[in-house]
Amino acid sequence: MFSAFKKRGAFLALLFSFALVVAACAEDEPAATTTTAAPATTAAPATTAAPATTAAPTTTLPPPTPGREISACQVSDTGGIDDASFNASAWAGAQRAEAELEGVSIAFLESGDAADYRPNIDAFIAEGCAVILTIGFLLADDTAAAAADNPNQLFAIVDQAPGPFPPWADAEGNMMADYANLRGLTFSTDEAAFLAGYMAAGASETGVVGTFGGLPIPPVTIFMDGFVRGVDHYNSVKGTSVVALGYDVESGEGQFTNNFDSLDDGRSFAETLVNNGADIVLPVAGPVGLGSAALCQDTGACLILGVDADWNATAAEFSDVILTSILKNIDVAIFNTINNVLVLDSLGNPFNGTLANGGVGLAALQDNADRVSAELAQEVADLEAAIVAAGSLPDFLASLAADG
């Protein structure tokens, strides 16, 4: 069926709670809610920080109808299927579905630029895909239009959810469709980035850390915002003055490469931060960040915080300069969506990944675990528990402000 295609094995400004897509399906969680300690290492004392949140979820779904077969088709953003970031994470979830769920076949089309989005979507509609998975905020315009044009076709999109704002509604807030055929997969990555910022502030030897983004869009700036707020919280708790370069939380302005593919930009932006004293860098720009990792590796001047996936797995050649990664578990959200379609012939409820449900988190410390003391590791674990107890990062920060 897919011979024409290659086949292999978010803090949004507005998150709109729309009607449940399928009443029979409880909102799935992409990972267990318990946190696991960082792995034992001879380089550092045991730590309970940096919880790994990539474990497969349990499920209460019944088995699919015998003999049922579905196709799940992924349209990548321009970073490509092997970007070591969100496209790769989404594809890993599809691959897992094909491997573990009988009756699932998968396919993907890569988008060279934005002009490819709608043609790729339309090609998969023509192929008869059971569900079309569009990967990224930038595909929202074309996904919204295609879903409105094809109400019987199932869709899921990463980093967007339908609401009374464009492209899902007109300027007056009138919805363009009911979008019952589309599932939004969004992620509160500011929660995990806050933990990473706190950890980076405590691990920095220069007292300066830095970040930059690919494009100034909500799924990017949510990382940067949470990171800088985490550094600020460390300073508040410790009475220190660690500097976070590259993003201002009040104005929302920061440093952006304006692309997601230039390794040269990743190197040069990291170099600028390092030249201004940063010894830990958070690039929120997909594969652009690999250029930053190469700079750190070549110079020995910095450590990297990965994004989306665990870079110790997806960019293992840079493990010697990776501190941790801010996980956005797209893979498990994609797997659960495909499983819902297979078993229920429906998408499941709109999903937002948080620390509480395992949708976001920090990857386990590995080669540079010695940069994180046992005390700092415990503080990060305690912060995670406090954010979960508060319900969200904004609620946690509001409680701090209320306490004075």
**Domain ranges (residues) in the chain:** 70-187+331-353, 189-327+373-403
Burial class of residue 360 (count of CB atoms within 10 Å of its CB; 0-12, 13-18, 19+)? buried
pLDDT in the model for residue 57: 43
Better-predicted residue by pLDDT, 74 or 62: 74
Q: What is the average pLDDT value for the chain, to the nearest integer?
A: 87
Q: What is the pLDDT of residue 46?
A: 34
CATH code of the domain made up of 189-327+373-403: 3.40.50.2300
Q: How confident is the model at residue 184 (pLDDT cuts 50, 70, 90)?
A: very high
pLDDT at 80: 82
- Of the ranges 24-33, 130-139, 295-304, which one carries the lowest mean pLDDT score? 24-33
The pLDDT value given to residue 134? 98
**Closest Cα to residue 265, out of 225, 213, 322?**
213
The answer, yes or no, to whether residue 15 has pLDDT greater than 80, is no
Within 10 Å of residue 139's Cβ, how many Cβ atoms? Answer: 27
Cα distance between residue 292 and residue 296, in whole Å: 6
Rounded CA-CA distance 302/179 in Å is 45
Structure tokens at 330: 């797209």
Integer Cα distance of 209 and 204 in angstroms: 7
Q: What percent of the chain has pLDDT over 70?
A: 85
Residue whose structure tokens are 């940067």: 224
**Equal CATH topology for 70-187+331-353 and 189-327+373-403:** yes
> So what's the pLDDT on residue 47?
34
CA dihedral 44, 89, 217, 140 (to 10 degrees): -160
Hey, what are 71's tokens?
A: 């196709």
Q: Using pLDDT thresholds of 50, 70 and 90, give the confidence band for residue 83.
A: confident
Comparing 393 with 11, the larger pLDDT belongs to 393
- Considering only residues 27 and 204, tell me which one the structure prediction assigns the higher pLDDT: 204
> Which class would CATH give 70-187+331-353?
alpha beta
Question: Averaged over 331-347, what is the pLDDT?
Answer: 95
Q: What is the CA radius of gyration of the chain?
A: 20
Sorting pLDDT into bands at 50, 70 and 90, what band is 13?
very low
**Mean pLDDT value across residues 80-88:** 85
Please tell me the pTM assigned to this model: 0.84
More confident: 219 or 44: 219
